Amino acid sequence: MLVFLALYQDWVPYLLAVGYVAIHHGIVGTLWPEEVFNHSAALNAPWTWAGIHAFFILFQGVGSIIAWRFMEKAAAQNELILNSVGEGIYGLNREGRVTFANPVAAKSFGVEIQEMIGRPIQELVQPSQINGKGSVIAHPILAAEGKQSSREGQALFWRNDGTSFPAEYVISPIVERGETTGAVVSFRDVTARERAAEALRHSQQQYRELIHSIDGIVWEADAKTFHFTFVSDDAERILGYPMQSWIEEPRFWSDHIHPEDREWAVRYCAKATEEKRPHRFEYRMIAADGRIVWLGDIVSVVVENGKAAKLRGVMIDITQRREAEERARRNHDRIRTLHEITAAASSSLELNVVLEALMAKIVDLLPYAAVQIWLKNIDTGKLERTTCLNIDRDEWLRRELKQLPLLIGIAVESKIFVVSNNVQTDPRILDREFYRKQGVVAYLGIPFVVKDEVLGVLVLLTREQHEFASEEIEFLTALAAQAAMAIHKSQLYAQIKSQADELERANREICDFTAMIAHDLRSPLNQVMGVSELMTDSVFGPVTDDQKKWLGKVVETVRQLVSLVNDFLDVSKLEAGHIDLNLEPIAVEELFDAVLDNYQIVAKDREILLRKKVGATPQPIRGDRRRLEQVLGNLVSNALKFTPADGAVELGADWSHTETTVWVKDTGIGIAPEEIGNLFEKYKQTASGRTSEHKGTGLGLAICKMIVQAHGGKIWAESRPDEGAKFAFTLPVNLNS
């Protein structure tokens, strides 16, 4: 070829031109050289046979080079494609031997490409179906025989090391002149996809199990219409409606909400949805069997493109909780009501007040229209109509009863409640006509029982049909028990009050009698004392010393009797309330001076210091001067009696904004602590007083106490043996002076 080009280099341009014309006009491959030559002659070209022959040699060489270059490039492209594709690909001839394979196929089987070329495919892989049966891919030529289209499937491919992997494959037959000469097999390892699918199946199973494990209705609905798009199986279990009803009925939710909750529940959910916020609320729905079911609905809002698109939530059956809460609320209300009624019934000890308060509270706080109360007469022991409320009281009390009503008798005998659902028709009721006129229907009688004794019966009446539930009767029985205690206390109080009144009357009579006797004794005693003093002074004639001595004892004895009579008179008047106090502003220091004047000689004779101690800013007191001097005189007299020679007795006073404290303090023999509590009782004396040579009546301190209390004050004593004693009393300050 090189020699030819060298010899005919001048002709090369012409040859190329001729070649171009020949190619352009389709001459090459259709004309013989002679024809070409003739054609060339017709063109008047200086062709020669040798030139024409050279051209064809040149043309064929160039064509071969071009074809080889093209095939080489196509092979490189094909190899690049095979190496780049993500699937395994290999070719088979009719004998089932591998003719080519890409790296993915070799790697999938765990061999090198060179190990695959020329070997039967059965030696490399033993595919089988997923179910374990043989696979058609084991004989791909047979699988592709007679088929003009590809065949797809799924099988397990086994690697060279004995492990397997799931794969999807496509067998494409190679057909030449209607005969299958081979096949191309492409496959994809779907392990990752199978794992993902398994994970998805597992996740879905977990989701289903999670949905089923939730004790409630899991749901999804349209955010605008509230039309359910999904509900869990518990929907039918909780409310009894088929699941398709939830899905198919657009207004299922709102239509089955309790009528009292429907409007607010829908409005609340719509508002929360519009605000795109999660929310929870509780409402009632009507079940398929008519039950009322409380649901706690926990709702989340799914937002898409800035708008609420879906609602998802869980409806939990909270009926038991709400019923428990309602029972707790009723119990709380009943306890509060019981407390209020008991407090009202216990606010007084007057029986009539207790009964009126009891009935008023029952009608006010409980759903009963009228009340009757029957009580046992304490004197006769018979049950009698006592009082009523909201029925004609006069007619009820006026109606003649030939015998005790049967229901009342049953309650008394059994000591438990008795019920009539309709007193207008109940044959046990004798007063059916009366109750018909009063418009009452249901009847409940509960006995008042205290210490297993029936005090009476509480009757509750309604104006409408009413079924008394067991919880209601239990509560009312407790109420009746509390009311029975209040009634019992009132009856005891009435008895005690009657007895106290009787005792007080008898005591007043005794006091009046004692005062009369004392008054009648005082006049002759004064006469005896007066005559004895005159005789001592020799008014009736000469008297010997011995006679004077005995006359002196008579005078002293009579004086003591007069003092005793005076004390009796004072006590009788004070206890009978016959004492009148002449209240006036008094300076305490004036009281002290009057008492000191009366007892200063006695104190001097006994060698006892008698003194007063008055504060810097004394305030006047309001009292009866004579009676207060009597109190101070008694206290000073006692102090002088029990204070030895060289001792001291002191009168003093302290002031506050509201009262004055007056005290008498001595340095005498003192009083034992256990005796102080009885000092101000009538006829009580200390041990030292009983053994003293200056015995008294035991009324002085009692009179002091009565006088001080009559002034609105109080009196007390403070002492210890051998440490003297202090007697003190308080009096109100005269703030108006």
Residues 6+ apart with CB under 8 A from 42: none
Give the tens place of pLDDT for each residue, 361-374. 888 878 888 999 99
Element (H, E) at 586: strand 583-586
* Residue with token string 């070649």: 19
> How high is the pLDDT of residue 222?
96
How many Å from the N-terminal Cα to the C-terminal Cα in the chain? Answer: 162
User: How much is the average pLDDT of 439-450?
Assistant: 94
- Segments of 177-278 assigned E as strands: 179-189, 217-222, 228-231
With 70 as the cut, is the pLDDT of residue 236 above it? yes
What's the chain's length in residues?
Answer: 737
With 60 as the cut, is the pLDDT of residue 47 above it? no
> How high is the pLDDT of residue 275?
95
User: How much is the average pLDDT of 205-223?
Assistant: 82
Token couple for 236: 């039918």
With 60 as the cut, is the pLDDT of residue 201 above it? yes
Give the tens place of pLDDT for each residue, 464-502. 999 998 888 998 898 888 888 888 888 888 888 888 888
User: How much is the average pLDDT of 636-647?
Assistant: 92
With bands split at pLDDT 50, 70 and 90, how would you rate the model's confidence at 298?
very high
Give the tens place of pLDDT for each residue, 109-125. 889 989 889 988 877 77
Torsion sign, CA atoms 557, 560, 566, 571: negative
Distance CA 484, CA 471 (A): 20
Distance CA 393, CA 18 (A): 145
User: How much is the average pLDDT of 348-359?
Assistant: 84
Sequential DSSP letters for 678-697 = TTTSTT---HHHHHSSS---
More confident position, 573 or 24 = 573
Token couple for 680: 């101000």
With bands split at pLDDT 50, 70 and 90, how would you rate the model's confidence at 16?
very low
With 70 as the cut, is the pLDDT of residue 616 above it? no
pTM, two decimal places = 0.44
> How high is the pLDDT of residue 492?
86
With bands split at pLDDT 50, 70 and 90, how would you rate the model's confidence at 26?
very low
Give the tens place of pLDDT for each residue, 401-434. 888 899 999 999 999 999 999 999 999 998 899 9
User: How much is the average pLDDT of 443-457?
Assistant: 93
With 90 as the cut, is the pLDDT of residue 556 above it? no
> How high is the pLDDT of residue 135?
53
> How high is the pLDDT of residue 11?
46
DSSP 8-state class, residue 138: G
More confident position, 600 or 17 = 600
Give the tens place of pLDDT for each residue, 121-148. 877 776 665 554 555 555 555 555 555 5
Distance CA 456, CA 404 (A): 12
Distance CA 86, CA 107 (A): 12
With 90 as the cut, is the pLDDT of residue 610 above it? yes
Give the tens place of pLDDT for each residue, 172-193. 888 888 788 889 999 998 888 8
> How high is the pLDDT of residue 215?
81
User: How much is the average pLDDT of 706-710?
Assistant: 90
With 70 as the cut, is the pLDDT of residue 272 above it? yes
User: How much is the average pLDDT of 587-614?
Assistant: 91
With bands split at pLDDT 50, 70 and 90, how would you rate the model's confidence at 579?
confident
More confident position, 301 or 55 = 301
What average pLDDT does the chain have?
Answer: 82
> How high is the pLDDT of residue 695?
56
